[in-house]
Amino acid sequence: MKVSRLVSIIMILLDKQRIGAQELANMFEVSIRTIYRDIDAINMAGIPIRSTSGVGGGFEIMKNYKIDRNVFSTTDISTILTGLSSLSNMIQSNELVNALAKVKSFIPVDRVDEIKLKTDQIHIDLSQWIGYRNVQPYLEIIKIALQENKLLSFKYADRHGNKTEREAEAHQIVLKGNHWYFQGYCYKRNDFRLFKLTRISNLKLENIFFTPRDYQKPLLDFTDILATIQVKIKLRIHKSIMDRVLDYCMYEHFSPDGDEYYIVTFPFIENEYYYNILLSFGDKCECLEPLHIRTELKRKIYDIANLYEN
């Protein structure tokens, strides 16, 4: 059960006064049974929710009830504030500002310092250290497209740099790792696609409306797939690039090789992306085995050297 969803339901009930179970289920993309469990949990927390049946029925907080600020624990509030604050760094909107203000209103005066201390213990900054392209304007355009069901048009570059004109219905914004995407129905491909925002240019909100369609969420967890296609290779790396290599494997995969070097068991997939990772380590990394990957790296290094012969 997600605390953030429970808080959101409470906020909605405070704002809309009454709302149906099906509407809540659609809003949070869960089953009606889950919504009923959430309502029971809110009741058990001390907030009286009553249900009315028939046309215009639904859930509502009993009139004249004032929410006890002690309903949420210090950990609950600090966790929600941390999550909202991390998003507010990337998405500037009145909705997030209002959400932050509402959550802060639940903080009792005698717990302000304690919650501030816990919130400050975790800082989430989704921007990169260098070379960061600001996608915030595009996020704001896509948010409007989602809210108003308006079509988006843009140019899209694939991983080889080929650009195509696209029109798409926006259905979901996705943050995966430190990259932003949107899931949309592409008119060019007649199917759902996941578009990476950094590959988009000339994004426009068209004055064309569409009816939202049923769709499956994009596959974002490749753990099982990677387990079947990854192989283990052996690298010898200089200690100066240890922090970079740790982005791809655990410290347990390192064993010292003298004072300056480590032998590393490295997860590898035989494609251009992974070969380029190894090449990016320069002369601080040597592939020891298997032989065919070492040979392919030598060929690629030879081709790079040939670019500078003339």
**Nearest residue to 140 (alpha-carbon basis) of 94, 188, 192, 76:** 94
Phi, psi of 264 (to 5 degrees): -125, 135
Which band of pLDDT confidence, cut at 50, 70 and 90, is reported for residue 267?
very high
CA distance 280 to 270: 16
Q: What is the mean pLDDT of residues 99-115?
A: 68
> Is the pLDDT reported for residue 302 higher than 80?
yes
Which band of pLDDT confidence, cut at 50, 70 and 90, is reported for residue 279?
very high
pLDDT of residue 189: 92
> Is the pLDDT reported for residue 66 higher than 70?
no
* Measured CA angle at 285 (ends 280, 288), to 5 deg: 125
CA distance 188 to 48: 50
pLDDT of residue 235: 96
pLDDT of residue 234: 96
Helix residue ranges per DSSP H, the chain: 3-16, 21-28, 32-44, 74-88, 94-104, 112-120, 136-148, 223-229, 242-245, 272-280, 291-307
> Is the pLDDT reported for residue 163 higher than 60?
yes
Q: What is the mean pLDDT of residues 49-57?
A: 78
Tell me what percent of the residues of the chain surpass a pLDDT of 90: 35
**Nearest residue to 58 (alpha-carbon basis) of 2, 27, 6, 13:** 13
> Is the pLDDT reported for residue 36 higher than 90?
no
pLDDT of residue 260: 94
The helix/strand/coil state of 124 is coil
Which band of pLDDT confidence, cut at 50, 70 and 90, is reported for residue 221?
low
Q: What is the mean pLDDT of residues 3-25?
A: 76
pLDDT of residue 160: 77
**Domain limits of the chain?**
3-67, 74-120, 136-209, 224-307
CA distance 161 to 154: 15
pLDDT of residue 227: 73
Higher pLDDT, 95 or 275: 275
Which band of pLDDT confidence, cut at 50, 70 and 90, is reported for residue 1?
very low
Which band of pLDDT confidence, cut at 50, 70 and 90, is reported for residue 18?
confident
CATH class held by domain 136-209: mainly beta
Q: Tens of pLDDT along 116-135?
A: 776 666 666 666 665 556 78
Which band of pLDDT confidence, cut at 50, 70 and 90, is reported for residue 56?
confident
pLDDT of residue 6: 76
pLDDT of residue 27: 80
> Is the pLDDT reported for residue 161 higher than 90?
no
Q: Tens of pLDDT along 75-84?
A: 776 766 666 6
Is domain 3-67 in CATH 1.10.10.10, yes or no?
Answer: yes
Tell me what percent of the residues of the chain surpass a pLDDT of 70: 75
